[in-house]
Copies of this chain bind each other. A is one copy, B any other.
Amino acid sequence: MQPAVLRPGFSDPPVQSAHDRVYRGLRLQVMHGELLPGTALTLRGIGKSFDVSMTPAREAVRRLTAEGALTMSASGRVATPELSNERIEELASIRALLEPELASRALRRAHLALIGRMESINEANARAVHRQDAVDYIRTNLEFHRTLYLRAQSPAMLGLLETVWLQLGPTMRALYARLRRTAAPPHHRLILEALRAGDDAALRLALRTDVTQGLRHLAVYPGEARA
């Protein structure tokens, strides 16, 4: 609303612009599954919740729509995407294409500290499962994967993958609500073992199955099929 004097002295975060704050905030909400598929958003509402005018809200939405994190109806209404089964399977196969490649590239540069960090994230993930905390489950699961892929030193490929995660965010949340998972993701241990062994083929396979297993059951049941 008001000019919002952006903390004159401080510079810890390099003073991000208003639309960037909105962008990052919405992006995390979508990626972590805080919003269910089909959730409607309004520019004025977004602006109000981030305490900015419509202008930065519109830019953030435009950006997120370009990444597939949000959809816009013909009349400009904004909502989180409701994916068809075909689309879900397609996005899963893109993950199955990109993630083994990223993991393989990371393998050469992986060191023990990295594996240790992944194990600790995996434990947090298991706790989220036990706590039945869908958002935290998704968040730690993605963090587990991203921690590995960051080592691949392939920013463009990782960026592409993140847009895929973004598109799947609300749907992943909906899935979690459906299957009430009781056990931790079973393939993370295989990933860690392959990493320790330096086994490229096993690592690729572990990721492919982790990704497709997690999403194969995402498909909506026939009765609730969506356009």
Contact = CB atoms under 8 A, between A and B. Distances in A.
B160 A87 contact: no
When all copies of this chain in the complex are counted, the total is: 2
Interface stretch (A61-69, A142-150, A193-201): A61-69
B58 A156 contact: no
Interface string A126-160: 00000000000000000000000000001111011
Contact of A101 (B58, B66, B97, B167): B97
A70 to B, nearest CB: 12
Interface of A: 14, 19, 58-59, 62-68, 74, 87, 90-91, 93-94, 97-98, 101, 154-157, 159-160, 163-164, 167
12 contacts: A63-B66, A68-B156, A87-B155, A90-B154, A90-B155, A91-B156, A97-B97, A97-B101, A156-B167, A160-B160, A160-B163, A160-B164
